[in-house]
Amino acid sequence: MKTPIAVVTTLLLTATAAFADMEGAWTARPHEKDPDKLQVSLSYSRSSNHSSSFSLSEVALTREQVYAATQTPVQFAWKREAGTVVFDGVFRNGSGGGQMIFTPNRNYLDAIKALGVEIDTGADDEELFTLAMVDVSAAYIRSMQAEGFRVRIEEYMSMAMFRVTPSYIREIRGLVGRDVSADKLVELKIHNVTPEYIREMRVSRPELSLDDLVEARIFRVTPEFAAEMARAGYRNLSHDDLVQLRMFNVTPEYIRQLAAAGYRNVPVQKLIEMRMFRIEPEFLDKMMKAGKRDD
């Protein structure tokens, strides 16, 4: 029996759609900390956006092109295993913009499945685009599997996005003396809990857990802050006390100002309450002079 023309047409249209390029727009500006890097924002489909940064050398752009005083046409590309993004547009004084085209690499899905990763071979172009942007390569997945991580593709994506590397994993394991989950490693990376930070914090507080260290990083609790509080008269504070003091911006300077207003050796929880209710030393000083001190 011959295949009906209608069925052949449908199959051809489906195959064409599956391998269709994806189009969108891009804008770029200098990275706030490095003029040789660009922060790129991409928009595609109706409501999807992605942001990433890259060095000029990574895409063969020059400073002369990017920072030219007049509009300068450019074309550059990101080549990743999941596909290639080609950018066309212009730059002027560090800011740029234009159109992009993403060409997916369907062979990538087979390579990933061969590693035992569950992924839908019918994944749409937007999924492949995200994998390309994060640069989840087969080599990266193999490096994670070598460290014992056989996880879902979404977890590999998170680990790649926040640059969880084999060396980072081994350092963290060595410091905590046990395995650490993929989610926890990503959390540590998000909050910049580096091996150096862990070693620094554990010199004086070896009991701190990874959760404690994340909390400390979020609220900027450092050995220096603990030492400053000790010099202000608050020694041997617990981790929770230090976190709360940071959380409510109780600084050594605030404590010194209270002392100058006649309020010395205020309990930690009272200090926190005073900050919560925005009780400033100037107000207390006026109360003291008016003879209305309230302990």
Residue-level pLDDT at 106 = 85
Whole-prediction pTM:
0.80
Residue-level pLDDT at 20 = 61
Label the pairing between strands 22-31 and 34-44: antiparallel
Q: Map out the domains of the chain as residue ranges.
A: 21-104, 107-190, 219-289
Contact in structure between 39 and 93 (CB atoms under 8 Å)? no
Residue-level pLDDT at 40 = 94
Residue-level pLDDT at 123 = 67
Contact in structure between 38 and 56 (CB atoms under 8 Å)? yes
Residue-level pLDDT at 177 = 92
Contact in structure between 144 and 157 (CB atoms under 8 Å)? no
**C-alpha count within 13 angstroms, C-beta hemisphere, residue 233:** 13
Rounded CA-CA distance 18/104 in Å is 9
Residue in 159, 124, 128, 127 with CA at minimum distance from that of residue 141: 159
Rounded CA-CA distance 148/161 in Å is 19
Using 50 as the pLDDT threshold, list the residues of the chain that sit under it. 1-19, 293
Find all residues with CB under 8 Å of 244, minimum gap 6, and list them. Answer: 250, 268, 272
